[in-house]
């Protein structure tokens, strides 16, 4: 459920798992206008759905349309996954799991120092990522063009978070262990991310939540100077695992075959 939603690769992702696991089911897209999202969610069961995912711009609005919100989703202030449990429609957030599992797989040891992270952007994706970083023991500085939005998000999470404007970024990079882009800058069709990595330690890890293209200019620049770089596709793949398990009772696997399938779809 999103608006717009045609760009989503989730049908390809979940369709692959349904085929591999031999489950009779279908994952479809629903372009739902903001004014209609609450009614659509409340009618999921009556319309034969086992649950669903919620993407922008509905992740916050959906909180008020479910019977119960899992503690992690409530702490983040947004949900992305819905399922039925004991007759109730439950809302959770698997973005945190997807983000952490992606880094654990593609940059093992990234959290060994429990160091300092700089998160670019203060939107919906940033909420789950900041929460995950705090859970792993990082201190987090949220950097946003509109510093008031960064301050609001830092205030929401409180201890362990700080806010800064874009002009502060050069001074923040030398003390950064993990640099994360949660904005759409650098995405195909969007302006480039205006950042120079001068001063970023060579042993820092760089993560870009963007996955179209897979190799964003930020990741290319990071690799060129010797930093570990992780694209956003892994987060997309891993966040789907807990939801699929909730709906169908089987835990799927993120495999090289699956990644190759989605990569091919991204460039087709």
What the block records as the tokens of 52 is: 């669903």
C-alpha–C-alpha distance, residues 157 and 106, integer Å: 27
Sheet holding 68-69, edge to edge: 51-53, 81-85, 88-92, 68-69
C-alpha–C-alpha distance, residues 211 and 214, integer Å: 5
Q: Which residues pair with 52 in a beta bridge?
A: 82
- CA 219, chain centre distance (Å): 17
Judged on CB neighbours under 10 Å (0-12, 13-18, 19+), 152 is middle
Burial 213-227 (b: 16+ CB within 10 A, else e): beebebbebbeeeeb
Pairing status of strand 88-92 against strand 81-85: antiparallel
Residue of 154, 149, 152, 151 lying closest to 134 (CA atoms):
154
Catalytic residue numbers, as ranges: 59
């Amino acid at each position: 459920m999103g608006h717009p939603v045609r760009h989503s690769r989730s049908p390809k992702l979940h369709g692959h798992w349904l085929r591999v696991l031999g489950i009779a089911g279908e994952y479809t897209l629903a372009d739902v206008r903001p004014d209609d999202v609450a009614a659509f969610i409340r009618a999921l069961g009556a319309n034969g759905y086992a649950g669903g995912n919620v993407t922008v711009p509905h992740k916050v609005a959906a909180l008020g349309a479910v019977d119960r919100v899992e503690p992690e989703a409530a702490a983040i202030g947004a949900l992305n996954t819905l399922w039925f449990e004991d007759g109730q429609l439950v809302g959770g957030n698997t973005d945190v799991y997807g983000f952490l599992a992606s880094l654990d797989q593609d940059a093992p040891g990234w959290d060994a120092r429990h160091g300092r992270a700089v998160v670019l952007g203060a939107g919906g994706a940033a909420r789950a990522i900041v929460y995950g970083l705090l859970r792993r023991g990082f201190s987090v500085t949220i950097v946003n063009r509109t510093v008031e939005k960064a301050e609001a998000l830092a205030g929401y999470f409180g201890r362990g978070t700080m806010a800064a404007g874009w002009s502060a970024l050069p001074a923040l990079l030398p003390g950064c262990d993990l640099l994360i882009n949660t904005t759409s800058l650098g995405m195909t069709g969007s302006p480039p991310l205006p950042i120079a990595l001068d001063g970023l330690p060579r042993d820092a890890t760089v993560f870009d939540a963007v996955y179209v293209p897979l190799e964003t200019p930020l990741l290319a620049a990071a690799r060129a100077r010797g930093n570990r770089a992780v694209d956003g596709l892994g987060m997309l793949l891993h966040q789907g695992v807990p939801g699929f398990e909730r709906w169908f009772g089987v835990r799927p696997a993120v495999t090289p075959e699956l990644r190759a399938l989605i990569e091919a779809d991204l460039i087709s």
